[in-house]
Amino acid sequence: MKLTLWTYEGPPHVGAMRVATAMTGLHYVLHAPQGDTYADLLFTMIERRNHRPPVTYTTFQARDLGSDTANLFKTACQNAYERFKPQAMIVGASCTAELIQDDPGGMAEMMGLPVPVIALELPSYQRKENFGADETFFQITRALAKPVEKTAHVSCNLIGPTALGFRHRDDITELTGMLADMGIAVNVCAPYGASPADIARLGAAHFNVLMYPETGEAACRWMERELDLPFTKTVPIGVGATRDFMAEVASLTGLTPQIDESRLRLPWYSASVDSTYLTGKRVFLFGDGTHVAAAARIARDEMGFEVVGLGCYNREMARPIRKLAKDYGVEALITDDYLEVEAAIEALAPEMILGTQMERMIGKRLNIPCAVISAPVHVQDYPARYSPQMGIEGANVIFDTWVHPLVMGLEEHLLHMFRDDFEFNDAAGASHHGGHHTTPTPETQQPETTEESAPGTVIWLDEAERELKKIPFFVRGKARRNTETFAANQGVHEIGIDTLYEAKAHYAR
């Protein structure tokens, strides 16, 4: 048993729903109790889909247990086929149905439905949402994809985008355009927008673009083996990664790399003088492994930030993320426990968080700006406008998105100069953070004697405490920590104004 307050990933059958909802002509019959229908609202409300997910739930009740849950499943399956007439069906169980062991796969097979029925075995008590999506798409591909004649011109499949993904809709558009510039057509994009008939002709492509390893890698590996389809290993998020990706595509196809950078603005925006204030900003990254790895490279090499910590919630990516963290000289945090992430952020006191919806909450609580780089995300991260993460436009979008929550260069100076102005002070926060955002930082409420400082018991003298308050709020946490660390290293037990400025000089960059 493990106590959980918020989860980064849902159960694996939600992953299967993300695949089914992204596709057309496919129906999912899920053996599950009535409450599990909540998952529909993820798609209809958070992603604003205008159709119900193609899922039939058996919604069994306590009184059905032990008597006819199996019949309930068969009836639901038969009715779903007749009502929706899908080209193929997937069947499986949610966590509760897994316990009653009705074997939906076996039952559906015995029913002799006139379309392919693919059974899913998704262990609810061991695995999670990303695994569920990856495994489901793999099983669908394995069941339906057959060797077929290759297209005459060079073409590829886009693999991995699902419903409820982070900017998947726009990443597809961006990549399709970039590949077209090189003369490469998209044969099939899957699961997003694909029908079972489309899955059958995956093999006509010359190679696969693995957009999201979290949800498409198992299928890509299988297609590499069985359909002779090599797949790309670089995820084109960020300027460098996009260039590397196009070079990889060129080497797979023998075509000359061509990349239209006329719309690319990130490099100049990062190099322009206003961005000086970005340099060395201490950032913490957390999310799914793929997006964190991409964001780390952008943060360090393309924005000039200092990466002070990074990690991922999906254990499947633990190895590459640990390796990556080593390159950045930090310890990787691999956990799906929100409280651990919060503790790590609190201890590191970064100036910005690049994370998920959860880290946005942490950021609000700790008063640290946060930009979202990875699922899980909320309704505001499904914008109406075109805003991909991948490719040239993705790089532009990322620059804007990451800079937005920060206090701007000039504003930072003004805040410092006029910190005692009644409407331009600490508590008022930055002008673009919203007028209501006036909650004082936790530290001003409770003069911290945090655990780190407790053993040595460093005491802040009143005058130093007052001086500290004059420092703008967005760097005050760092100043406090640096001073305490400095004092502890020097064996000083009382912090006065001198200690504060000694520390400032010590840490001056």
Residues belonging to the active site: 274
CB of 70 to other proteins, least distance (A): 15
Q: Give the nearest distance from C-beta 437 to other proteins in angstroms.
A: 12
The stretch near other proteins (CB under 8 A) out of 57-65, 169-177, 203-211, 501-509 is: 57-65
343 touching other proteins, by CB under 8 A: no
Interaction of residue 85 with other proteins, rule CB under 8 A: no
One residue of 48, 416, 466, 470 binding other proteins per CB under 8 A: 48
**Binding to other proteins, residues 362-401 (CB under 8 A):** 364-365, 378
Max CA separation in the chain (angstroms): 83
Please state, in angstroms and as integers, the Cα–Cα distance from residue 228 to each residue in 103, 249, 342, following that order: 34, 16, 45
Per CB under 8 A, 482 contacts other proteins: no
Please tell me whether residue 508 binds other proteins under the rule CB under 8 A. no
Report if residue 10 touches other proteins, rule: CB under 8 A.
Answer: yes
| 3 lies in the binding site for other proteins (CB under 8 A) | yes
Query: What's the closest the beta carbon of residue 102 comes to other proteins, in angstroms?
Result: 12
496, exposed or middle or buried, with CB in 10 Å at 0-12, 13-18, 19+?
A: middle
Q: Smallest distance from the beta carbon of 193 to other proteins, in angstroms? A: 18
Closer residue to other proteins (CB): 96 or 151: 96
Task: Report the chain's C-alpha Rg in angstroms.
Answer: 26
Asked if 50 interacts with other proteins (CB under 8 A), we say yes
Say whether residue 17 binds other proteins (CB under 8 A).
Answer: no
Beta-bridged to residue 333, according to DSSP, are 311
Closer residue to other proteins (CB): 229 or 368: 368
Q: In the complex with other proteins, which residue's Cβ is closer, 100 or 143?
A: 100
Using the rule CB under 8 A, which residue among 23, 26, 42, 298 binds other proteins? 42
Query: 451 vs 462, which CB is nearer to other proteins?
Result: 451
**Looking at 26, 36, 281, 299, which residue binds other proteins (CB under 8 A)?**
36
Applying CB under 8 A, the span of 51-59, 213-221, 462-470, 473-481 interacting with other proteins comes to: 51-59
Label residues 454-484 b or e (16+ Cβ within 10 Å = b).
eeeebebeeebeebbeebebbebbbbbbbbb
User: And the tokens for 400?
Assistant: 């804007």
Give the residue among 52, 19, 325, 312 at the shortest CA–CA distance from 159.
19
Secondary structure of residue 489 in the 3-state scheme: helix
Whether the CB-CB separation of 157 and 187 falls below 8 Å is answered with: yes
- The stretch among 40-48, 212-220, 303-311, 420-428 that binds other proteins (CB under 8 A) is 40-48
Q: Which stretch binds other proteins (CB under 8 A): 89-97, 200-208, 243-251, 285-293?
A: 89-97
For other proteins, which residue of 67, 68, 71, 83 counts as binding (CB under 8 A)? Answer: 83
Reading the block at residue 70, the tokens are 């199996």
**Please, what is the minimum distance in Å from the beta carbon of residue 347 to other proteins?**
17
Q: Closer to other proteins at the Cβ: 17 or 303?
A: 17
* Contact (Cβ atoms closer than 8 angstroms) between residue 42 and residue 104: no
- Nearer of residues 95 and 318 to other proteins, judged by Cβ: 95
**What amino acid is encoded at 102 in this protein?**
D
* Full strand arrangement of the beta sheet holding 55-57: 55-57, 26-31, 88-93, 117-119
Residue from 133, 99, 100, 119 nearest 14 by CA: 133
The nearest distance, CB 62 to other proteins, in angstroms, is 4
Q: Which residue has the tokens 């339906």?
A: 144
Residue corresponding to tokens 């992953």:
15
SS3 at position 359: helix
Give the nearer residue to other proteins in terms of CB position, either 288 or 484: 288
Instruction: Please state, in angstroms and rounded to a whole number, the distance separating the CA atoms of residues 354 and 371.
Output: 5
Instruction: Work out how close the CB of 46 gets to other proteins at its nearest, in angstroms, rounded to a whole number.
Output: 8
At 428 the three-state DSSP class reads helix
Residue listed under structure tokens 């490099």? 267
Query: Which of 112, 126, 329, 509 lies at the binding interface for other proteins (CB under 8 A)?
Result: 126
Beta carbons of 500 and 467 less than 8 angstroms apart: yes
CB of 342 to other proteins, least distance (A): 9
Cβ 250 vs Cβ 257: under 8 Å: yes
* Phi, psi torsion values for 58, nearest 5 degrees: -75, -20
Q: By CB under 8 A, is residue 174 in contact with other proteins?
A: no
Number of residues that bind other proteins (CB under 8 A): 57
Amino acid at 470: K
Q: From CA 40, how far away is CA 46, in angstroms rounded? A: 10
* Least CB distance to other proteins at residue 370 (A): 12
Q: Does 2 bind other proteins (CB under 8 A)?
A: yes
Question: Looking at 65, 111, 197, 427, which residue binds other proteins (CB under 8 A)?
Answer: 65
User: For residue 386, how many other CB atoms are within 10 A of its CB?
Assistant: 12
Our finding on whether 67 is near other proteins (CB under 8 A) is: no
Phi-psi category of residue 332: left, alpha or beta, with phi > 0 → left and psi -120 to 50 → alpha:
beta
* Residue 40 contacts other proteins per CB under 8 A: yes
52 belongs to the binding site for other proteins (CB under 8 A): yes
3-class state of residue 224 by DSSP: helix
The residue from 21, 24, 58, 387 that contacts other proteins (CB under 8 A) is: 58
Q: Is 431 in the site for other proteins (CB under 8 A)?
A: no
Cβ(158)–Cβ(189) under 8 Å? Answer: yes
Which residues here bind other proteins, judged by CB under 8 A? Answer: 1-7, 9-11, 13-14, 33-42, 44-46, 48-52, 56-62, 65, 76, 79, 83, 94-96, 99-100, 123-126, 128, 339, 357, 361, 364-365, 378
